[in-house]
């Protein structure tokens, strides 16, 4: 028997009933992310890329198809603590300190927080010295790093990120991309990143999945050939731009 | 800047006190019915022996009612937030709890319960709605993204509630408690009006009314206001300490509704019927459970019999209708006048922001005042005529309506106001195009908020002073031991409030 894929979606369909009309959010979405790979989903607003992630997390039901996360149904995988997740806008609890926010998933899973491990996560994302700060006292980039640390604290085999850097400016975003790549390489997890930044997707991912809207569907999967670890100068490499241009072409219906 | 404003506030207060002193000393208002502050303070000092007993009694009832009412309210709020069908089912009861005029059920409570229980019950009823609403809204408004984080790790409904929603609702609940605290005091005082007993500020106030001692009446009013104001300030301070300032003084007048997610027609009709029936079932159950004698405690069926089937039904109906004919018009006129006044002032204050910053603190303070409980003071000034009723109604509707409207108008986005201005519109065009339309929803909200208060104000004035209408009928029936009528008046006034509210 072969090792199960990190994430696999097979023929997933999803419709939403909105004001008197039915919106076909996803049509026959099939995607598999082998263990230990980094996949990015890119597409225009409303193409259902976030819905794909929410289905894989078990936050949305699906109308047809099958989903497996590390070989298990999504909710079971979640309860077993296989997954880690970071959303757009850090979604931190404003009344908890950085440390206590990072401990939230452990509390939900009923695990005992290991102080040394939590501290290691805080240091991994470069927030040493801010353990007891409240989210309101942090900058946007720091809050996002807390969200990443929170996603990693459960030693996830599968890491989901929904536009984790969407609220950041371009400069900060690139810094965070470089750091995320380092962190992901250290943990060796399977990663799925939803984004609308082409350069972010190409810089981070092994494969870029391009989606179109109405109905939401996958139109192409583009391999990104660059060696790891990728360094910041890659952003200005002509080969990098060539891949980016290709993604943009597919994205705009080329 | 802040210091300057505080200084201006202090200066205005001093000028006001000085004016009051001069008017009082000269006996300009109603032949000395408005005594100067110095006399009130002197009288307060002379009466100092009487106060501790009365204050203690009122405080006991308020605190007990506050605690019980809030525990029930938070539990109910959590239940409703978790289960929209339950919220829909209890809608009838929630509206009744919000709209029922305490004075109407005070005699009933005095009949069926004994000792402190009626006062505690009314105080608890006064806080239930505010805190329940605040809890439901607080939980519903919790950060949905943070909820997703917990759910994404397989967190159960209970985990989401515990980790995210309940803690997120704390500011809202605290704001509710702040508004609820003076309500508890008001409830206790009203129960004392309607229920007799030896101790309590309400009893003291009522007892002193007959003796015509303005300075004592004002002293009692001052103390009652002080207690209510301090309880408000206490919670305001607590929430500022805990959370940093959040400022919400009005209560949200909308009864939260569960989303009506359709379902088959029979299910929806069944739900609607159950919603209406539940308050009556509860009424019936409480009577049966309390074990009060049937002579005194009437079930819904008994009231129906009394009004429609019994031999004396016709006289009872005639009396009730005559009383309604006296009460309803004046309630309506007073309410419309109060609302119109508030609306005009709120709109005008938009033209002159300085005015609003000067007037708002006064309006906010009146929110914490047991206004209706101060009716006896107005009796002194205005006499016992119709104008008294009207003024009480206007004063209890005006302030909450004004605060609701002014706070609503403050929420109109700047850009919406800038748009007409950018095209060179005049102040009036701007008012017509933006301010007035924007304030209409708040006018409706204010109307709902003030209907029960207006009815309460009129009934209290009738009960204590004018000797007309429903309030008087209630008082008379108490004297004649006409229990059927007491229950009927209570039922009718609650139903009226609910109907108006809807």
B356 lies in some domain: yes
More confident residue, B29 or B331: B331
More confident residue, B355 or B134: B134
- What is the model's pLDDT at position B245? 39
B1 lies in some domain: no
Q: Which chain A residues contact residue B167 at CB under 8 A?
A: 93, 95
Answer yes or no: do B145 and A57 touch at CB < 8 A: no
Quote the tokens at residue B197: 């007993």
Quote the distance between the C-alpha of residue B23 and its chain's center: 31
Q: How confident is the model at residue B419 (pLDDT cuts 50, 70, 90)?
A: low
DSSP A46-77: TSSHHHHHHHHTTSS--SEEEEEETTB-HHHH
> Rounded to whole angstroms, what are the CA distances from A90 to A119, A143, A165, B154?
19, 6, 9, 19
Residues B117 and B216 in one domain: yes
For tokens 């807390």, name the residue.
A146
Helix (H, G, I), strand (E, B) or coil at A218: strand
* Segment of A125-139, A237-251, B32-46, B89-103 carrying the highest mean pLDDT: A237-251
Answer yes or no: do A87 and B149 touch at CB < 8 A: yes
Pairing of strands A38-42, A207-212: parallel
Residues B289 and B302 in one domain: no
Residues B302 and B288 in one domain: no
In chain B, the number of structural domains is: 2
- What is the model's pLDDT at position B250? 41
Comparing CA positions, the residue from B69, B64, B193 lying closest to residue B133 is B69
Which of B295, B315, B330 terminates a domain? The answer is B295
> Rounded to whole angstroms, what are the CA distances from B63 to B200, B233, B368?
13, 15, 16
Q: How confident is the model at residue B64 (pLDDT cuts 50, 70, 90)?
A: very high
B14 lies in some domain: no
Residues B336 and B281 in one domain: no
* d(CA A28, nearest CA chain B) in Å: 23
- What is the model's pLDDT at position B246? 38
Burial class for A96, CB neighbours closer than 10 Å (0-12, 13-18, 19+)? middle
Residues B94 and B184 in one domain: yes
- What is the model's pLDDT at position B258? 46
Answer yes or no: do B154 and A87 touch at CB < 8 A: no
Q: Which chain A residues contact residue B148 at CB under 8 A?
A: 59, 87, 91
B18 lies in some domain: no
Which of B278, B295, B312 terminates a domain? The answer is B295
* d(CA B153, nearest CA chain A) in Å: 5
- What is the model's pLDDT at position B32? 62
For tokens 């491990």, name the residue.
A117
For tokens 């259902």, name the residue.
A48
Helix (H, G, I), strand (E, B) or coil at A24: strand
B132 lies in some domain: yes
Q: Which has the minimum average pLDDT: A65-69, B5-9, B398-402?
A: B5-9
- What is the model's pLDDT at position A254? 54
Q: What is chain A's alpha carbon radius of gyration, rounded to the nearest angstrom? A: 18
Which of B269, B295, B321 terminates a domain? The answer is B295
Contact criterion met (CB below 8 Å) for B374 and B331 = no
Burial A70-84 (b: 16+ CB within 10 A, else e): bebebbebbbebbbb
Answer yes or no: do B148 and A87 touch at CB < 8 A: yes
> The domain that contains B461 carries what CATH number?
1.10.3720.10
Contact criterion met (CB below 8 Å) for B409 and B438 = yes
- What is the model's pLDDT at position B252? 43
Distance CA B365, CA B453 (A): 17
Q: In this structure, how many other beta carbons lie within 10 angstroms of the beta carbon of residue B7?
A: 10
Q: Which chain B residues contact residue A75 at CB under 8 A?
A: 154
Kindly state the average pLDDT of the residues B357-380. Answer: 67
B283 lies in some domain: yes
B19 lies in some domain: no
Comparing CA positions, the residue from B446, B395, B394, B416 lying closest to residue B350 is B416
Residues B215 and B253 in one domain: yes
- What is the model's pLDDT at position B67? 92
Kindly state the average pLDDT of the residues B151-161. Answer: 82
Predicted ipTM of the assembly = 0.73
Before B31, cis peptide (omega within 30)? no
More confident residue, B33 or B94: B94
B485 lies in some domain: yes
- What is the model's pLDDT at position A147? 87
Distance CA A252, CA A213 (A): 11
Distance CA B146, CA B142 (A): 8
* d(CA A56, nearest CA chain B) in Å: 10
Burial class for B41, CB neighbours closer than 10 Å (0-12, 13-18, 19+)? middle
Answer yes or no: do A59 and B146 touch at CB < 8 A: no
Burial B424-441 (b: 16+ CB within 10 A, else e): ebeeeebbeebbeebbee
Please give the helix or strand (H or E) that residue B211 lies within, else none. Answer: helix B201-211
Distance CA B179, CA B41 (A): 28
For tokens 């006062």, name the residue.
B119
Residues B472 and B500 in one domain: yes
User: Is the model's pLDDT at B223 over the cut of 80?
Assistant: yes
Answer yes or no: do A108 and B154 touch at CB < 8 A: yes
Residues B247 and B328 in one domain: no
Residue of chain B whose Cα is closest to the Cα of A106: B153
- What is the model's pLDDT at position B263? 59
Which of B143, B146, B154 is nearest residue A78 as measured by Cβ atoms? B154
Residues B414 and B391 in one domain: yes
- What is the model's pLDDT at position B421? 66
Quote the distance between the C-alpha of residue A38 and its chain's center: 9
User: Is the model's pLDDT at B120 over the cut of 80?
Assistant: yes
In terms of phi and psi (left: phi > 0; alpha: psi -120 to 50; beta: otherwise), the region of B200 is: left
Rounded mean pLDDT for each run of 10 residues along chain A, 254 residues in total: 70 78 83 88 86 85 85 82 81 83 84 85 84 83 86 86 81 84 85 89 90 86 85 87 90 76
* d(CA A147, nearest CA chain B) in Å: 10
Residues B370 and B430 in one domain: yes
Residue B455 lies in domain: 298-502
Beta bridge partner(s), residue A29 = A12
Distance CA B172, CA B152 (A): 26
Residues B92 and B206 in one domain: yes
Beta bridge partner(s), residue B393 = none
Which of B143, B153, B164 is nearest residue A78 as measured by Cβ atoms? B153
Residue of chain B whose Cα is closest to the Cα of A57: B152
Answer yes or no: do B152 and A154 touch at CB < 8 A: no
Angle at A9 between CA A6 and CA A14, to 5 degrees: 145
Residues B243 and B356 in one domain: no
């Amino acid at each position: 028997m072969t090792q199960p894929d990190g994430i696999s979606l097979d023929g997933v369909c999803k419709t939403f009933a909105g004001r008197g009309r039915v919106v076909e959010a996803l049509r026959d979405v099939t995607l598999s992310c082998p263990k230990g790979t980094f996949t990015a989903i890119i597409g225009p607003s409303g193409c259902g890329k976030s819905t794909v992630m929410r289905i894989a997390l078990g936050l949305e039901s699906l109308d047809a198809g099958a989903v497996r996360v590390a070989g298990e149904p999504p909710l079971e995988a979640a309860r077993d603590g296989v997954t880690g997740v970071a959303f757009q806008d850090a979604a931190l609890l404003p009344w908890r300190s950085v440390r206590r926010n990072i401990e939230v998933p452990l509390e939900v899973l009923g695990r005992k927080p290991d102080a040394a491990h939590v501290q290691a996560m805080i240091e991994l994302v470069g927030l040493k010295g801010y353990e007891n700060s409240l989210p309101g006292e942090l900058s946007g980039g720091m809050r996002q790093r807390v969200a990443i640390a929170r996603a990693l604290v459960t030693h996830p085999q599968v890491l989901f990120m929904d536009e984790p850097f969407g609220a950041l400016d371009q400069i900060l975003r690139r810094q965070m991309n470089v750091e995320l790549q380092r962190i992901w390489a250290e943990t060796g997890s399977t990663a799925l990143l939803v984004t609308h930044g082409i350069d972010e997707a190409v810089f981070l991912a092994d494969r870029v999945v391009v989606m179109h809207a109405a109905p939401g569907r996958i139109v192409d999967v583009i391999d990104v050939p660059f060696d790891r670890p990728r360094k910041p100068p890659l952003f200005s490499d002509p080969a990098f731009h060539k891949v980016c241009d290709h993604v943009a072409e597919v994205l705009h219906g080329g | 800047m802040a210091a300057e404003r505080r200084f201006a506030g202090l200066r205005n207060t001093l000028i006001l006190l000085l004016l009051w002193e001069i008017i009082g000393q000269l006996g300009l208002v109603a032949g000395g019915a408005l005594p100067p502050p110095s006399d009130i303070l002197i009288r307060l000092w002379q009466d100092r022996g009487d106060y501790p007993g009365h204050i203690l009694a009122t405080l006991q009832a308020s605190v007990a009612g506050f605690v019980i009412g809030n525990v029930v309210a938070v539990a109910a709020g959590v239940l409703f937030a978790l289960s929209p069908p339950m919220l829909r089912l209890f809608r009838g009861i929630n509206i009744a709890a919000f709209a029922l005029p305490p004075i109407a059920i005070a005699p009933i409570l005095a009949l069926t319960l004994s000792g402190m229980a009626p006062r505690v019950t009314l105080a608890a009823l006064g806080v239930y709605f505010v805190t329940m609403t605040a809890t439901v809204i607080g939980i519903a408004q919790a950060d949905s993204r943070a909820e997703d984080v917990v759910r994404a790790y397989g967190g159960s409904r209970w985990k989401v509630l515990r980790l995210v929603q309940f803690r997120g609702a704390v500011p809202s609940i605290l704001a509710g408690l702040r508004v609820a605290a003076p309500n508890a005091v008001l409830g206790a005082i009203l129960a004392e009006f309607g229920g007799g007993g030896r101790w309590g500020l309400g009893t003291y106030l009522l007892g002193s009314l007959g003796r015509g001692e303005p300075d004592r009446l004002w002293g009692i009013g001052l103390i009652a206001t002080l207690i209510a104001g301090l309880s408000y300030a206490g919670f305001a301070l607590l929430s500022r300490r805990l959370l940093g300032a959040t400022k919400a003084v009005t209560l949200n007048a909308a009864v939260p509704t569960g989303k009506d997610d359709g379902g088959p027609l029979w299910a929806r009709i069944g739900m609607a019927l159950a919603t209406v029936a539940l308050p009556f079932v509860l009424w019936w159950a409480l009577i049966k459970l309390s074990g009060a004698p049937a002579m005194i405690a009437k079930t819904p069926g008994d009231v129906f019999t009394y009004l429609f089937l019994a031999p004396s039904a016709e006289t009872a109906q005639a009396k009730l209708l005559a009383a309604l004919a006296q009460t309803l018009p004046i309630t309506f006129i007073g309410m419309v006048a109060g609302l119109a006044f508030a609306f005009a002032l709120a709109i005008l204050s938009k033209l002159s922001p300085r005015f609003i910053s000067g007037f708002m603190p006064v309006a906010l303070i009146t929110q914490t005042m047991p206004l209706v409980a101060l009716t006896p003071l107005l009796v002194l000034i205005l006499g016992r005529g119709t104008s008294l009723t009207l003024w009480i109604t206007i004063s209890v509707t005006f302030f909450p309506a004004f605060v609701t409207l002014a706070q609503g108008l403050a929420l109109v986005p700047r850009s919406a106001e800038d748009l007409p201005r950018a095209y060179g519109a005049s102040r009036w065009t701007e008012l017509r195009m933006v301010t007035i339309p924007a304030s209409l929803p708040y006018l409706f909200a204010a109307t709902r908020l003030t209907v029960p208060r207006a009815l309460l104000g009129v009934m209290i004035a009738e009960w204590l002073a004018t000797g007309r209408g429903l309030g008087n009928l209630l008082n008379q029936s108490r004297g004649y031991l006409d229990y059927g009528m007491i229950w009927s008046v209570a039922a009718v006034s609650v139903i009226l409030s609910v109907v108006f509210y809807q």
